[in-house]
């Protein structure tokens, strides 16, 4: 029987165990959106994870929606990330980068020249983002023209190349949690006509073109994607048929041969089976459509994770908040040891407190 502590191959990426660190926004990038020495220490402390999926990272300056989140579009950012990946690899870990564009979840004060956020639509959600002045309502977006989309696809391709040049073992394209690619996927947001709007095949086109470009650039064996069919984060209602939409996406991703899918089950950071999702998403049916590796996420505890991997339905489990407060989460899961408490007020922004000062077992 497979356990959480057995090795796993996700495409070309060899994991020592099936415990994955989920991508977590921590808002500690230095000026220029560059990861600094504290970020090196933070990820190195967590290198016993089978795989670290480093925090959501902008593919372009236009992709930013929160203060002090890192990028992967400048030479300084690549150099900063290189220090992170070298240190994680020296500690025996594996690390990939999550490629992010927030789309309409942004504010003019965060964007180059005070630009408007861009999206599939010009409709503004009732959502907030975090700026120099604290939480503020997001700015009204501008709908991207179809002739701008090749440039956007190229931003993802270049970001994937930069990630590999920075020493990452692969990339995860962020197509979840209300950000740009979900703004194209869902008919609750995407109000376009033409090749990228209307039927689900058209709404999935941008994601699939980006995935094909990333695969051509860095290889299918180093490419994954994150999806969240049931999440309504940031005033983003469900698609009218999330099961059909995601079935199509997974069929096509399976044909592309990508390394893994990272599936958020239920509402991100919240209920695993929200009653408002009717009919409920059939995650097992989605999994059955995809040939590659499958990482499941959202609210798993030790027993649930062990049972899920033992049943063979999924290959690995991603933990978010438990990895913030427990740098040695793998050992604690193996030994069934108690966890440190999360200091939620220190999650976003600041320095070492609540970031690199959580003790490992025996080091209190
Ligand atoms: C956030 O910054 O709050 C955030 C970022 C990426 C996610 C979810 C939340 O996928």
Instruction: Please work out whether the CB of residue 175 comes within 6 Å of at least one atom of ligand 1.
Output: no
Measured from the CB, is residue 177 less than 6 Å from ligand 1? yes
Taking residues 323-342, report their average pLDDT: 98
Whether residue 223 has pLDDT greater than 80 = yes
CB of 56 closer than 6 A to ligand 1? yes
Q: To test ligand 1's pocket by mutation, which of 177, 236, 349 has the most ligand atoms within 8 angstroms of CB?
A: 177
Q: Which ligand 1 atom sits closest to the C-alpha of 100?
A: 6
Average pLDDT over residues 174-182: 98
106 within ligand 1 shell (Cβ under 6 A): no
Residue 112 has pLDDT above 80, yes or no: yes
Residue minimizing CA distance to atom 5 of ligand 1 = 25
- For ligand 1, the distance from its centroid to the CA atom of residue 362, given in whole angstroms, is 32
Q: How far is the CA of 71 from the centre of ligand 1 (A)?
A: 14
Q: What are phi and psi of 293, to 5 degrees?
A: -75, 155
Residue 202 CA, ligand 1 centroid: distance in Å = 26
pLDDT in tens, 13-52: 999 999 999 999 999 999 999 999 999 999 999 999 999 9
For ligand 1, the distance from its centroid to the CA atom of residue 25, given in whole angstroms, is 6
Q: Average pLDDT for residues 244-272, to the nearest whole number?
A: 98
pLDDT of residue 362: 87
Residue 318 in contact with ligand 1 by CB distance below 6 A: no
Task: Report the candidate in 242, 49, 202 with the shortest Cα–Cα distance to residue 120.
Answer: 202
Q: Residue 363 pLDDT > 90, yes or no?
A: no
Please write down the HEC assignment for all residues of 79-113: HHHHHHHHHHHHCCCCEEEEEECCCCCCCHHHCHH
What is the value of pTM for the model shown?
0.98
pLDDT in tens, 124-152: 999 999 999 999 999 999 999 999 999 99
Q: Which atom of ligand 1 is nearest to the CA of 174?
A: 10
pLDDT at residue 364 is higher than 80: no
DSSP state of 126: S
The Cα diameter of the chain in Å comes to 60
**CB distance 25 to ligand 1 below 6 Å:** yes
- Structural domains in the chain, CATH included, are 8-16+52-84+96-315 (3.20.20.70)
């Amino acid at each position: 029987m497979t356990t959480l502590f057995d090795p796993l191959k996700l495409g070309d990426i060899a994991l020592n165990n099936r415990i994955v660190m989920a991508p977590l926004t921590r808002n500690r990038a230095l000026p220029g959106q560059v990861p600094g020495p504290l970020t090196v220490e933070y990820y190195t402390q967590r290198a016993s994870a089978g795989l670290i999926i480093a925090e959501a990272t902008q593919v372009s300056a236009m992709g930013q929606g929160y203060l002090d989140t890192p990028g992967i579009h400048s030479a300084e950012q690549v150099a900063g990330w290189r220090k992170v990946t070298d240190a994680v690899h020296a500690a025996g870990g594996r690390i990939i980068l999550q490629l992010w564009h927030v789309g309409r979840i942004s504010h003019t004060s965060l964007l180059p020249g005070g630009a408007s956020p861009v999206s599939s639509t010009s409709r503004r959600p009732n959502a907030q983002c975090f700026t120099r002045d604290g939480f503020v309502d997001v700015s009204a977006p501008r709908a991207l023209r179809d002739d701008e989309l090749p440039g956007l696809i190229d931003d993802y391709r270049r970001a994937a190349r930069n990630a590999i040049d920075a020493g990452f073992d692969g990339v995860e394209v962020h197509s979840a949690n209300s950000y740009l690619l979900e703004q194209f996927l869902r008919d609750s947001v995407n109000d376009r006509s033409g090749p990228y709007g209307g039927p689900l095949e058209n709404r999935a086109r941008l994601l699939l073109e980006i995935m094909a470009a990333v695969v051509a650039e860095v290889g299918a064996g180093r490419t994954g994607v994150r999806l969240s069919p049931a999440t309504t984060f940031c005033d983003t209602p469900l698609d009218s048929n999330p099961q059909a939409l995601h079935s199509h996406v997974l069929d096509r991703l399976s044909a592309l041969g990508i390394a893994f899918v990272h599936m958020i089950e239920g509402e991100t950071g919240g209920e695993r089976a929200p009653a408002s999702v009717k009919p409920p998403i059939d995650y097992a049916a989605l999994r059955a459509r995809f040939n590659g590796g499958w990482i499941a996420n959202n609210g798993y505890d030790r027993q649930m994770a062990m049972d899920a991997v033992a049943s063979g339905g999924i290959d690995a489990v991603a933990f978010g908040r438990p990895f913030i407060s427990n740098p040695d989460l793998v050992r604690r899961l193996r030994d069934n040891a108690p966890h440190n408490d999360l200091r939620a007020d220190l999650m976003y922004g600041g320095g070492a407190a609540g970031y690199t000062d959580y003790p490992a077992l025996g080091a209190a």
